[in-house]
Amino acid sequence: MMIRKDTLLYKLTQLHWFLLLTIIALAMFGSLILFSAGSSAHDLETGLLKIDARYAIDHISRFIVMLGVALFVALLPLRLWASLAYPGYAVGVILLVGVDVAGNIVNGSQRWLTLGPLTLQPSELMKIAVPLAVARYYHQMFAAGRNGLWVHVVAFIMVAIPVGFVLKQPDLGTSLMILGAGCAVIFFAGISLRIVGGLLVLVLAMAPVIYFFGLHEYQRERIQTMWDPNADPLGAGYQLQQGMIAIGSGGLAGKGFMEGAQKELEYIPEQHTDFIFTIVAEEFGFAGSMVMLAAWAIAIVQGMSIAGNSRSSFGALAASGFVSTLLLYVGINIGMVIGLLPVVGIPLPLISYGGTAIVTVMIGFGLLMAVHLNRANDMTLRGLL
Amino acid sequence: MSRDWKNLFPSRRMIFLTGGGVVFLGLTARLAELQLFRQQEFETKAREVRIKLEPAPPHRGTIYDRNGRELASSKRNFYVTLRPEVASAARDKQVRQAEIGDVIERVGRLLRLSDAKKRSLLQDATTPPAHRDILVADDLTWEEFAQVNVMAPELNGISAEVGELRSYPLQAAFYHTIGYVQKANEADISRMVDFELTAVGETLETPEGKTRATTVRRLYKHPAMRVGKQGIEAYGEMALKGEPGNERLLQNATGRVIDRLPSEDLAGKPGADVVLSIDAELQNFAIQRFAADPATKAGSAVMIDIATGEVMCMMSTPAPDPNLFVSGIASAPYKALREAEENPLYHKAYDGVYPPGSTFKIVVAAAALESGAMHPNETVHCSGKAWYYNRFYNCWRPEGHGTVNLHTGLQKSCDCYFYRAAEKTGIEEIAKVAKRFGLGHRYELGITGGKAGVVPNNEWKLNAPRIKERWYPGDTISAAIGQGYVTATPFELAVMCARVAGGAAMPDPHLIVNGIRVPDPTITPMGEFKPGVLEAVRAGMYAVTSEGGGTAIRSGELDPEGKLPAPYTNARMAGKSGTAQVIRLDNLRDARGKAISNDKLPWRLRDHALFVAYAPVDKPRYAVAVVIEHGVSGSSTGAPIARDLLAHALRTDPGAKKAFVPKARDLAAAESGKQPA
């Protein structure tokens, strides 16, 4: 039976099912780990099996809702998202200004904005909005045949404005993520490698200056801890050191589901959010960690192939921008947990407990699938506007 | 669309994917380093030198008597714990059992533990989880402690610790009122979790509530922590225990605590001190007075200061030493305590419910006058028995009292007079006055237990489980002499006597004067009686001890030599005797059909002896109720004890001095310490 090409059903059959299944598998795995985070095979107090599925149920229900949102995003025309890129970016910047002026201070950081019943974290929105707007911008420039250095300079300014606001909140982790995603789009848009190299050298040269003058005291502390977690076992290094003990003691095959010992002693703060990987590594060992990393590698390679197959430069750049965000998420989160990077508050998407990251990531996956569905459309400027 | 870019994009993707590959390789390499090459190191580390946050039991509040004498305090405690995961790391169950068993065997030799104790320790230590401290023994001597400390490096998992342990310096004297502490069992822990959550208004559903519950659980699992099991220790647990703190312990590879790190920032708050209104010296005197005569080996006494409502003495004898319970009492001695016929575990003054016998005539007399059913001078003829509702009711004196009025009725305790008075007054009026005198009420004193006696009337009888009948006129006749359905605790009888003596101005009785608030909003106020009612009753009670023919004529004198200072010089007491049947003697006849006298009966079937009294007669200050279980006669066994207790009270006059106020360690804790009921 032939399915008519303009129906929803046809579009569904054309979805990137392999990517979709990878995402679902990762989220299921996340629920399993969160189930273990709340539960224990031998409870510290009673010695009995203790079950607490609250985190897992929350996680999976959020995922299901967001999966619906992602499919909705994927099935709408990509052209619509392209035309929303600038307005979205503008709204995002306005909200960031709003946060700066009237935001709520949570944990000493001004990130949240209350609008009536809604509490928004605009910086999270910018992880998607910035690469989208920059992709849209390049799409327009390429169509007009412009590709001089100034084009990239303007793009960088588009990135730098929101990054500046987020840095001021202060939220180093998110600002680095936005900067990374934005710069990745500029990189994919073809900025000269010589300039990239030059900038990298410059950043490295500036590093000591930034370290001593650009960072807050607590941020410097975190970097010191990374070099020597034993220096301050009661303070900043505590979490990291206990996390490493959990990971290292997991060994090749891990201690087994719900058998993790470190979580029981409550040695690792935020173990169900940013430090969730310690449970993966302790209970499923090196083997389990590798399987999870492989799933993420598959998602990233799939994302890049979607970008490569897109005929429109907007699609290709938006897709690459989001895939870069994913790589940053996974790389920074695991890197910090295993002591390769300083501790910044970045969760492990689809695995960590928490509502905000899953919204960002699932909207991103929705866009990625929209790019895939619209890969044949080159979206000339006329058609776009 | 820029063609240049189209050509460039694939190479950029390749660069990105290569970069991504490098990132993943880096993560993999690091994970391999941690999990494959350094696994051993971390596995050891997971168990070795680490800083452990351990809940530190706070200092438990001290309980004082009114003069600041310590009734329950904390002494230094040397104890030894075992951590199973350190005693044996073997995965195999057999090997674990053997290794842990060996440690227990060796420490058991040092501390001379019994085989049964060693077996139960091994059982406990081989039950998961292994990462907790098990109490091996406590209350050790310094020598034992030092010995274990020296040997500890060779005893894996064994630590010698110093903490605090509850101690009761006055031993048995306050067993029933103060209670005791013990190691918490699962039921205690759940109860305390509930209390704690209710107190802070959390539930187990919220993360905060959960954390709180975990803290409470961990605290009560601490080897040095105890929980109040009864008495004030249990009622005031929340206030007495204080706020737990934490302690940072540095452990080495064998789990031995090698250092205690500074933890001032984590310190808890000590518990609130509690002050009782009781005078320990008077309490001790009462106990010795009962113990002096085998005929009074079991019983209770309550004395209340009429001027303040403070309880001066509240004893129940015999009693065990609460110190025996703190480290756990063995089952054989405990069984003996439970089964002893003197009921040593039972708070006779507060939980004991007795027929008030003739002491209830005080209520009937007041009710008859208050309701106008009898005039004080109205007489009744007593021939030794009276006919009511188709049966004879006997007077205690078979030959009868002749012509009796209210005054002589009380004085001689003539049953016939009170049959008539009760019949004319009716049970509803009697019940009303009984309530006004403080009967039929469980007084909230801040200790566990406590009973309310029965003040029966028609409504009560209709609703009483297992009876559910209307009130018969004959029931009133039995109630007239404090038999039948009427019951009261010694505490209630003391309140009754204090109210009669003190009048409407007498303050409500209370036991705790400092540390915990114990409100009792349900107390029935006495209210004013018609003029002359209480005076007539008091005159009758005075006649009991002081006019020829009174039932306790030999016990009226409190200061025969006139040595006491004013206003107690030559003080006399007023009182009322009572005898409560344990069994219906009417049904128990000997071979010739004669009633068996009490001294022929086994001890546990003899009548209870009761006496309520107050002194001095002219300006009442102290009221006492004495109940001697199976003491046979209220007037000959009860009255002398009541006399001696009152004489002692007048001599030392404990109520004259204001109660001790402890140094305020933390007033907030005392304020918020009320335990939710």
pLDDT of B533 > 90? The answer is yes
Q: Does A264 touch chain B (CB under 8 A)?
A: yes
Chain B residues touching residue A289 (CB < 8 angstroms): 31, 35
Instruction: Please tell me the predicted confidence (pLDDT) of residue A381.
Output: 54
Query: Is B54 in a helix, a strand, or coil?
Result: strand
pLDDT of A197 > 70? The answer is yes
Instruction: Please tell me the predicted confidence (pLDDT) of residue B671.
Output: 42
Instruction: Please tell me the predicted confidence (pLDDT) of residue A74.
Output: 94
Cα B172 from chain centre: 13
Q: Does A121 touch chain B (CB under 8 A)?
A: no
Instruction: Please tell me the predicted confidence (pLDDT) of residue A17.
Output: 92
> Among B13, B52, B214, whose Cβ lies nearest the Cβ of A308?
B13
How far is the C-alpha of B252 from the C-alpha of B347, rounded, in Å? 50
Determine the average pLDDT of the residues in B47-59: 73
Q: Does A147 touch chain B (CB under 8 A)?
A: yes
Determine the average pLDDT of the residues in A58-81: 93
Contact residues of B toward A, CB < 8 A: 1-2, 4-5, 8-10, 12-13, 16-17, 20, 23-24, 26-28, 30-32, 34-36, 38-39, 41-43, 45-46, 50-52, 127-129, 131-132, 214, 217-218, 221, 248, 261
pLDDT of B590 > 60? The answer is no
Q: Count of residues for chain A?
A: 385
Secondary structure (DSSP) of B370-439:
HHTSS-TT--EEE-SEEEETTEEEE-SSTT--EEE-HHHHHHHT-HHHHHHHHHHH-HHHHHHHHHHTT-
| Of A30-44, A240-254, B437-451, highest mean pLDDT | B437-451
Greatest extent of chain B over all pairs of C-alpha atoms, in Å: 135
Give kind and range of the element (H or E) at residue B313: strand B311-317
How far is the C-alpha of B320 from the C-alpha of A74, rounded, in Å? 79
- The answer to whether the CB atoms of B45 and A316 lie below 8 A apart is no
Instruction: Please tell me the predicted confidence (pLDDT) of residue B42.
Output: 85
Closest chain B C-alpha to A145 CA, distance in angstroms = 6
Instruction: Please tell me the predicted confidence (pLDDT) of residue B668.
Output: 41
Query: Is B603 in a helix, a strand, or coil?
Result: helix
Question: Which is more confidently placed, B413 or B51?
Answer: B413
The answer to whether the Cα torsion of A191, A193, A196, A202 is positive or negative is negative
Chain A residues touching residue B9 (CB < 8 angstroms): 188, 190, 308, 316
- The answer to whether the CB atoms of B31 and A286 lie below 8 A apart is yes
Instruction: Please tell me the predicted confidence (pLDDT) of residue B209.
Output: 81
- The answer to whether the CB atoms of A313 and B218 lie below 8 A apart is no
Question: Which is more confidently placed, A184 or B668?
Answer: A184
Determine the average pLDDT of the residues in A62-71: 94
Instruction: Please tell me the predicted confidence (pLDDT) of residue A232.
Output: 54
pLDDT of B677 > 50? The answer is no
Alpha helices of chain A — where are they, by DSSP H?
A: 8-13, 17-38, 54-75, 78-102, 122-143, 149-168, 172-188, 193-209, 217-227, 237-250, 277-309, 313-337, 355-373, 381-384
> Among A47, A188, A249, whose Cβ lies nearest the Cβ of B46?
A249
Question: Which is more confidently placed, B429 or B591?
Answer: B429
Percent of chain B clearing pLDDT 70 (strictly above): 93
Question: Which is more confidently placed, B124 or A86?
Answer: A86
How far is the C-alpha of B409 from the C-alpha of B544, rounded, in Å? 10
Instruction: Please tell me the predicted confidence (pLDDT) of residue B51.
Output: 67
Instruction: Please tell me the predicted confidence (pLDDT) of residue A385.
Output: 44
Determine the average pLDDT of the residues in B20-44: 92
- The answer to whether the CB atoms of B5 and A261 lie below 8 A apart is no
Instruction: Please tell me the predicted confidence (pLDDT) of residue A105.
Output: 64
Question: Which is more confidently placed, A141 or B586?
Answer: A141
Closest chain B C-alpha to A205 CA, distance in angstroms = 21
Instruction: Please tell me the predicted confidence (pLDDT) of residue A85.
Output: 93
Tell me the per-residue pLDDT of B305-341, one tens digit each, with 9 for 90 and over. Answer: 999 999 999 999 899 999 999 888 888 889 999 999 8
Question: Which is more confidently placed, B46 or B419?
Answer: B419
Determine the average pLDDT of the residues in A320-346: 92
Tell me the per-residue pLDDT of A290-327, one tens digit each, with 9 for 90 and over. Answer: 999 999 999 999 999 999 999 999 999 999 999 999 99
Chain B residues touching residue A340 (CB < 8 angstroms): 26-27, 30
pLDDT of A188 > 80? The answer is yes
pLDDT of B254 > 90? The answer is no
Which of A217-226, B480-489, B576-585 comes out lowest in average pLDDT? A217-226
Percent of chain A clearing pLDDT 70 (strictly above): 85
Instruction: Please tell me the predicted confidence (pLDDT) of residue B565.
Output: 84
- The answer to whether the CB atoms of A285 and B35 lie below 8 A apart is yes
- The answer to whether the CB atoms of B12 and A246 lie below 8 A apart is no
pLDDT of A266 > 70? The answer is no
Burial status of residue A224 (CB atoms within 10 A of its CB: 0-12, 13-18, 19 or more): middle
Tell me the per-residue pLDDT of A143-175, one tens digit each, with 9 for 90 and over. Answer: 888 878 899 999 999 999 999 999 888 788 889
Instruction: Please tell me the predicted confidence (pLDDT) of residue B676.
Output: 40
Strand partners, B380: B404
pLDDT of B253 > 50? The answer is no
Instruction: Please tell me the predicted confidence (pLDDT) of residue B666.
Output: 46
Q: Does A43 touch chain B (CB under 8 A)?
A: yes
Determine the average pLDDT of the residues in B237-264: 73
How far is the C-alpha of B249 from the C-alpha of B243, rounded, in Å? 19
Q: Does A229 touch chain B (CB under 8 A)?
A: no
- The answer to whether the CB atoms of A327 and B23 lie below 8 A apart is yes
Determine the average pLDDT of the residues in B213-223: 85
What global pTM score does this model have?
A: 0.63
pLDDT of B614 > 60? The answer is yes
Angle between helices B490-502 and B361-371 (to 10 degrees): 40
Between strands B70-82 and B134-137, the pairing is antiparallel
Tell me the per-residue pLDDT of B168-213, one tens digit each, with 9 for 90 and over. Answer: 999 999 999 999 999 998 899 999 999 888 888 888 877 778 878 8
Instruction: Please tell me the predicted confidence (pLDDT) of residue A259.
Output: 80
Instruction: Please tell me the predicted confidence (pLDDT) of residue A268.
Output: 64
* Band (A278; pLDDT cuts 50, 70, 90): very high
pLDDT of B381 > 90? The answer is yes
pLDDT of B1 > 80? The answer is no
How far is the C-alpha of B245 from the C-alpha of B486, rounded, in Å? 51
Average pLDDT, chain B: 87
* Band (B255; pLDDT cuts 50, 70, 90): low
Average pLDDT, chain A: 85
Nearest to A59 by CA among A319, A361, A301, A366: A361
Query: Is B237 in a helix, a strand, or coil?
Result: helix
Q: Does A289 touch chain B (CB under 8 A)?
A: yes
